[in-house]
Amino acid sequence: MRSTLFKQIPIAIALSLALGACGGGGGSDTSTPTTPTTPTTPTTPTDGAITISAAAASADSRLACFKGTASAECGLRVYQIMVESFVDGDASANYNVGYGSSHHKGDLQGIINSLDYIKSTGSNAIWLTPIFESIPKSGQDIWANRLDATGYFASNYFKVDPKFGTLDQAKTLVAEAHKRGLYVFFDGVFGHHKDNVVASPTGKTPTGSANPVTYPGSYDFYAEVATYWIKELKIDGWRLDQAYQVPVDQWAKLRAAVQQASASVSYTNAAGATVNPLGYMVGEIWQGESQITSNGYGTAAAPGLLSNFDFPSRYRLVQTLAVEESGAGKKPASTLKEVYSTVQAAYPAHAMPNLMLTNHDLVRFGDLLQRGGIAQPSDDAYWNRHKLAFSFMAAYSGPITLYYGDEIGQEVAGFSTKQPDSTCAAVGLCDDHVSRDSALIDGVATTVGGAVGALNARQSDLKNYVAQLWALRDSNPALAFGSRTHVYADSTLYIDRKDAGANRVLVILNTGSSEATIKLDSKAISGVTTDLSDLLASSTISAADGIYTIKVPALSARFLKF
């Protein structure tokens, strides 16, 4: 969570400085990196094709979601919702003020109204930004009102904010989501609070200052929060704001409490089975990979959180296909190798990193494409680069998160031409909250009494592509749970192989502006010459004398099962 203007500095510097807006100190890397996989050596024949003939390196299967074994946590496809800016479904529940350029009327009923649409994106979980009551203080100014609307400095952790809705609406939301096969995660702010915090039902309060609190004195209060909502509403876990504010050993205790509470209640899922809440917890530590390890994951001997958002990998992804917020980017496709050889090599083996493209604190990918002078919404490249980003995410072993609106290429018109200044917070156009704009949900009115949302052809096409990719993760366990073997990368091509038992998929991304032709020796992937089945196009590629000739159009991806 960020509520102030974030200075635009290169990510290589920003991560090493622990991204000061998120606070927290550095830390030594206690994990043992894996040996990076070695790409095959290509040749370029006179016909311009890339020939890949050497056998690929051994598979990377060290982290928790690379084992080839399906698990609900590794297979999560989370849809993130900024509550106050999303959809207004209840005229009696409004903040009418906030950060960003939205209507500032979003509420729980608006989310309930949108559940069918969310399900249609291929998502299997939702994460709501905080919905607990922020109690106004006498005489507080508009900036405090805006901060209240974010929910990130709550007063009463045991009451739904009436400006978001009611407890009954929260119960309905969770129950209706579960009926549709959607897990529900609340946002847990366990390191800070508004300075008029209310005691728990059993009389507990946090210790220390309002920001940050102190541990272990605050543990009992936040353990009560974390378990109360699991028992009360049967939520499936927590996204954890500024998780570096809580010591790793306290995360281990909180995680055990959440698991125990989840085992104590049950609900009926979409398949009609009785299940326990998932008990998933994912931390926001907006820092480099070493700090995420030391401040979140902990060590193999003393694990803390099992999942954290993979910020360093997110920056590699946007630097490759667009630019990051600082303007740095337009990097070669081979940059994507660093996701594994640099970032994930620093994580301990129990880690389940969660990859996102954007979130409520970041600039939307579409606006980053415009900031880099790469593409406008009127250009094919704008939509194709979105598809490439989601294609990389689809082949990521572990949980992934989709910020609302990214599935339709949402952007803030004209934002790339505006320079952050002293007025940007007032008009909702600072980098750290510009993406908190009103949702566009197909078939649902964004505001009470407003026009029903309708997607244009480009938006519908991208949303359908995302749904198709997310479905591939269900039908091909190699994508979400498989080991990874790097095959090849250069300035415009990136090729990985994913394996989960007999399920094997070759993933090819072409970030270039022209079609690529690849002549792939069967020895580089499997040594057998069965047909390659295109999972997106329902076509096959046969080998001729042990060589597959694969054409990949410009700015596109192919998923080839073999």
List the domain boundaries for the chain: 11-30+74-419+430-484, 45-57+487-561
8-state DSSP, 309? B
**Yes or no: domain 11-30+74-419+430-484 corresponds to CATH 3.20.20.80:** yes
Do 440 and 455 contact (CB within 8 A), yes or no?
yes
Quick one: CA dihedral 471, 475, 478, 482, positive or negative? Answer: positive
Task: State the pTM of this model.
Answer: 0.93
pLDDT score, position 422: 84
Q: What angle, rounded to 10 degrees, do the helices at 311-321 and 380-394 form?
A: 150
- SS3 percent helix, strand, coil of the chain, rounded to 5, is 30, 20, 50
**Which superfamily is assigned to 45-57+487-561 in CATH?**
Golgi alpha-mannosidase II (2.60.40.1180)
Between CA 521 and CA 544 the distance in angstroms is 10
Do 265 and 279 contact (CB within 8 A), yes or no?
no
pLDDT score, position 47: 60
Between CA 497 and CA 489 the distance in angstroms is 12
pLDDT score, position 554: 98
**Three-state secondary structure call for residue 157:** strand
Q: What angle, rounded to 10 degrees, do the helices at 219-233 and 248-263 form?
A: 30
Q: Tens-of-pLDDT digits for all 562 residues of the chain? A: 654 332 333 333 333 323 333 333 223 333 333 333 444 455 544 467 999 998 777 889 999 999 999 999 999 999 999 999 999 999 999 999 999 999 999 999 999 999 999 999 999 999 999 999 999 999 999 999 999 999 999 999 999 999 999 999 999 999 999 999 999 999 999 999 999 999 999 999 999 999 999 999 999 999 999 999 999 999 999 999 999 999 999 999 999 999 999 999 999 999 999 999 999 999 999 999 999 999 999 999 999 999 999 999 999 999 999 999 999 999 999 999 999 999 999 999 999 999 999 999 999 999 999 999 999 999 999 999 999 999 999 999 999 999 999 999 999 999 988 877 888 999 999 999 999 999 999 999 999 999 999 999 999 999 999 999 999 999 999 999 999 999 999 999 999 999 999 999 999 999 999 999 999 999 998 877 899 999 999 899 999 999 999 999 999 999 999 9
Please report the beta strands in 9-165, taking only residues with DSSP state E, as ranges in sequence order. 42-43, 50-52, 77-81, 125-128, 132-133, 156-160
List all residues 6 or more positions away from 486 whose beta carbon is below 8 Å from its beta carbon: 36, 37, 38, 39, 56, 57, 60, 337, 340, 495, 496, 497
Q: Which H or E run includes 470?
A: helix 457-475
Q: What is the CA radius of gyration of the chain?
A: 23
Report the DSSP pairing between strands 125-128 and 77-81: parallel
pLDDT score, position 38: 44
Between CA 476 and CA 480 the distance in angstroms is 8
pLDDT score, position 43: 53
List all residues 6 or more positions away from 145 whose beta carbon is below 8 Å from its beta carbon: 95, 97, 136
pLDDT score, position 417: 85
Q: How far apart are the first and last CA of the chain?
A: 42
Do 399 and 352 contact (CB within 8 A), yes or no?
yes
